Amino acid sequence: MLRMLGIETSCDETAASVVALDESGTPKILSNVVLSQIEDHAAFGGVVPEIAARAHVEALDGIVASALDEAGVSVDDLDGIAATAGPGLIGGLIVGLMTAKAIAAASGKPLVAVNHLEGHALTARLTDGVEFPYLLLLVSGGHTQVILVRGVGDYERWATTIDDALGEAFDKTAKLVGLPYPGGPNVERAAREGDASRFSFPRPLRGEARLDFSFSGLKTAVRQAATAIAPLSDQDVADICASFQRAITETLEERVGKSLSRFREIYPDIDDPALVVAGGVAANKAIRETLDRLCGKHAMRLVAPPIALCTDNAAMIAWAGLERMRAGMASNDESMSFAPRSR
């Protein structure tokens, strides 16, 4: 039995978790504690790095203690400590990685430096036992990427956004129509009451051979529409949100569809071809339904981990640490000298 403590502080969640891996290779989340700073940042309409770093300093010790406590283990019972080393906001990364180094140094347990994106990429193996290779669609406030996951530490990025991240597009749209931060859930809720055919927003990069995404043109179109009809009634807001969300789902269908075709071309014969979706935007029901349908067309399975494990959390970091350790890729010497990296 291996037990790994995970620490995640790359953005606005202070999180710690203990994940176990038994002899038969079955993982179990023993605890998963997440403290969101959303309230600290809401008044500013987005995450303020300096406030985030201070909040991590104040909260992290207590969150780590809760995670150990809930798991019913002490530091002595651990086989390692994994912490996010990047990418993310540098202040938070320093707090998390230094805390992990201190625990590792004091206890003599190995430290595993984990890339935040690798945490998202491997979560579906923790929750659904998905086998390599698979395709990952990561859609969060900071990232919009399609990644081919061939193995632990073996990733090939197929697509990224050339401007805004998808979550960022939701957040900016929310701001433009006067909905509070974080925008995604509020835009989704408003869209339910709206007429998606009222505004025709662009479908960026449609038909282009490359696999990338672009969302800034969409945001500009939303701004123009909102300015043209201001002041906005509730119905106007709902119609803009519904039209925006339709543009997004149709764009994903076309863009992600190209990646799925390519995946099927490269791997025509694998048993259970899967698209894994991760990141906060994966909470969006309309987007999930679109991806589900799209996967059906390509004879693939959509794997969407539970929302709490799609958004930022430390169980994914502990799990990535275990995967690295099991694969013989967790070098303590390397990790202890690892400097946090924002990019």
Amino acid at 88: G
Confirm or reject binding of residue 194 to ligand KG4 (CB under 6 A). Answer: no
Give min distance, CB of 3 to ligand KG4, in A.
26
Query: Which of residues 86, 96, 194, 279 is near ligand KG4 by CB under 6 A?
Result: 279
Residue found by looking up tokens 């809401």 in the block: 42
Contact between residue 275 and residue 288 where contact means Cβ atoms under 8 Å apart: no
Minimum gap (Å) between residue 210 Cβ and ligand KG4: 24
Chain position carrying tokens 């900071």: 142
Burial of 173 (0-12, 13-18, 19+ CB in 10 A): buried
- Residue 166 or 221: the one with the smaller Cβ distance to ligand KG4 is 166
Compute the least distance from the CB of residue 36 to Zn ion, in Å: 13
Point out which span in 22-30, 71-79, 264-272, 276-284 binds ligand KG4 (CB under 6 A): 276-284
Q: Does 140 bind Zn ion (CB under 5 A)?
A: yes
CB-based contacts of 289: which residues, under 8 Å, 6+ apart? none
12 contacts Zn ion (rule: CB under 5 A): no
Query: What tokens does 66 get?
Result: 């809760």
* 79: partner contacted, choices Zn ion, ligand KG4, none (Cβ within 5-8 A by kind): none
d(CA 134, CA 274): 5
User: Of the candidates 87, 194, 280, 340, which one interacts with ligand KG4 according to CB under 6 A?
Assistant: 280
72 assigned ligand-binding residue: no
Binders in 150-169 for ligand KG4, by CB under 6 A: 167
Question: Which residues make beta-bridge pairs with 16?
Answer: 7, 33
Q: Which residues in the 302-321 window bind ligand KG4 by CB under 6 A?
A: 311-312
Virtual torsion, Cα 159, 188, 244, 290, nearest 10 deg: 50
Contact letters for Zn ion, residues 312-331 (x by CB under 5 A): x-------------------
Q: Is 11 in the site for ligand KG4 (CB under 6 A)?
A: yes
CA–CA–CA angle 95, 97, 100 (5° rounding)? 105
- Per-residue b/e over 296-315, b at no fewer than 16 CB within 10 Å? eebebbbbbbeeebbbbbbb
SS3 state at 37: coil
Q: What, of ligand KG4, Zn ion, none, does residue 284 touch, CB below 5 to 8 Å by kind?
A: ligand KG4
State the number of binding residues for ligand KG4 (CB under 6 A): 19
Q: Is residue 284 within the footprint of ligand KG4 (CB under 6 A)? A: yes
* Residue with Cβ nearer Zn ion (41 or 109): 41
Cβ atoms 260, 275 nearer than 8 A: yes
Contact (Cβ atoms closer than 8 angstroms) between residue 91 and residue 50: yes
Where is the binding site for Fe cation, in residues?
116, 120, 312
Binding-site positions for substrate read: 138-142, 171, 184, 188, 284
**Would you tell me which residues interact with Zn ion (CB under 5 A)?**
140, 312
